[in-house]
């Protein structure tokens, strides 16, 4: 991935952090039960994992990127899928076809392979 990835990742993290703090301040301003400092706990440890998954990297290779348990990696990818679907729905409601297409593309990139295989525990097979 190289230096470009690390530099871009750092810039993206700062942008997300700034956005999270602004959201925290807005919530505090409107008397919602959350403090801006709670947003200071943003975790970016699995960004690389999800990015590599979306690029098509096999799960076995992704397991080498971090020592986070496999279940947490899978759950993070599944949650991203859920978020993409919610954004697609919102984009459709707003009539934003560009955002809809981007979220559809992202959704298709991550919804693959073993992460989305039916669970034997859930299906009862």
Angle between helices 47-55 and 97-110 (to 10 degrees): 90
Residue 117 and residue 103 share a domain: yes
Does one domain contain both 65 and 10? no
Ranges of beta strands (E only) in the chain are none
- Note whether 51 and 11 are same-domain residues: no
Q: Which two tokens stand for residue 89?
A: 């729905």
Has residue 40 got a pLDDT over 60? no
* Confidence (pLDDT) at 5: 47
What is the spatial distance between Cα 69 and Cα 79, in angstroms, rounded to a whole number? 16
- Residue 38's closest CA among 53, 28, 48, 52? 28
Same domain, 21 and 39: yes
Residue recorded with tokens 């990297």: 57
CA quadruple 99, 100, 101, 104: dihedral sign: positive
Residues 35 and 49 occupy one common structural domain:
no
> Do 54 and 38 share a structural domain?
no
Do 120 and 99 belong together in one domain?
A: yes
pTM for this model (two decimals): 0.63
- For residue 77, give its domain range: 45-125
Q: Which of these ranges, 12-16, 23-27, 56-60, has the smallest mean pLDDT?
A: 12-16
> Within this chain, do residues 19 and 57 fall inside the same structural domain, yes or no?
no
Are residue 71 and residue 18 in the same domain, yes or no? no
Residues 36 and 55 in one domain: no
Instruction: Give me the number of domains the chain comprises.
Output: 2
Q: Are residues 105 and 116 in the same domain?
A: yes
Q: How far apart are the first and last CA of the chain?
A: 40
Q: What's the CA gap between 35 and 46, in Å, rounded?
A: 24
Which of these, 85, 86, 43, lies nearest to 66 by C-alpha position? 43
The reply to whether 62 and 39 lie within a common domain is: no
106-119 per-position pLDDT tens digit: 998 888 877 777 76
């Amino acid at each position: 991935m190289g230096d470009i990835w690390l530099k871009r990742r750092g810039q993206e993290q700062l942008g997300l952090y700034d956005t999270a703090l602004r959201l925290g301040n807005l919530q505090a301003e409107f008397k919602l039960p959350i403090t801006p400092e709670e947003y200071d706990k943003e975790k970016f440890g699995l960004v690389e994992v999800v990015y590599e998954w979306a690029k098509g990297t096999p799960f076995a290779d992704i397991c080498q990127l971090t020592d986070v348990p496999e279940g947490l990696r899978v759950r993070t990818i599944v949650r991203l899928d859920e978020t993409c679907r919610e954004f697609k729905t919102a984009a459709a409601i707003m009539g934003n076809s560009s955002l809809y297409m981007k979220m559809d593309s992202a959704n298709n990139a991550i919804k693959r392979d073993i992460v989305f295989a039916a669970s034997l525990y859930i299906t009862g097979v």
